[in-house]
Structure 1
Amino acid sequence: MVAHLMHKDAQGRQAVVAVLLERGPDDKPQPLIQTVWAHLPLERGEALQSQAQLDLTQLLPAERGYYTYMGSLTTPPCSEGVLWMVMRQPVQLTAQQIAVFARLYPMNARPLQAGSGRLIKQSQ
């Protein structure tokens, strides 16, 4: 699984920080995900307003290295010109945290796209 932290500036330029998610120990729930899950609607598509305060840096891995490239959105209209930063180190979730997400959002991944000669850089 991957969490996408989407950003858009005043000129409409978009950037995505992608955080890879993997199963970890069941006795160490990821704190930010616990907060998000506590404020999610129970059913997909259900509207819900929340006053929850989120610090998205809590979702970033301890090691902040990343890969970066120019790509596209993963959902229609799949627009090009999006700056991607993919964190190299995954963040661990419990099996229960993964199950909640999988129930609400079953297989929503876009098929792999050809690299089309794009340059992929790695941070220091």
Structure 2
Amino acid sequence: MIFQSCLNFGEEIDYPINSNEAKNDVESLLQINFYNKISNLHYYKNNTGIDPYACIKFETSPKLIDSIISLKNFELDNSKYERNYTLPKWFNPESIKNPKHYSNTNVDYKTEHLIIDKSKNMVYYFYSTR
């Protein structure tokens, strides 16, 4: 007897830039109300496997960046962020000349990375459940 299973975990979506759906999801992930405080929002999520992951990129004020770091208990991470997943081309924190890398691995079995380009007030956020 042969048993085969193919579970449908979820979907893979690269949302349109600045879409309302992306803003709602991102506000939930980062636990902060963005109401007109961000621009150029890119959001991709992949829930097709056992370990879902997502990446986000947006521009905002230094004040909101500091709020996110504080609220999510990010700690400065002196290691270089390394890409371990297939991600959209727009998610390119490797291109930042002097990035500030923060991480948090103590949140609901998630690993979170926040990479900041202070020269452009650009935020890159990545999380996975591994």
**Structure 1 length-normalised TM:** 0.27
**Structure 2 length-normalised TM:** 0.26
Which structure shows the bigger proportion of residues in strand conformation? 2
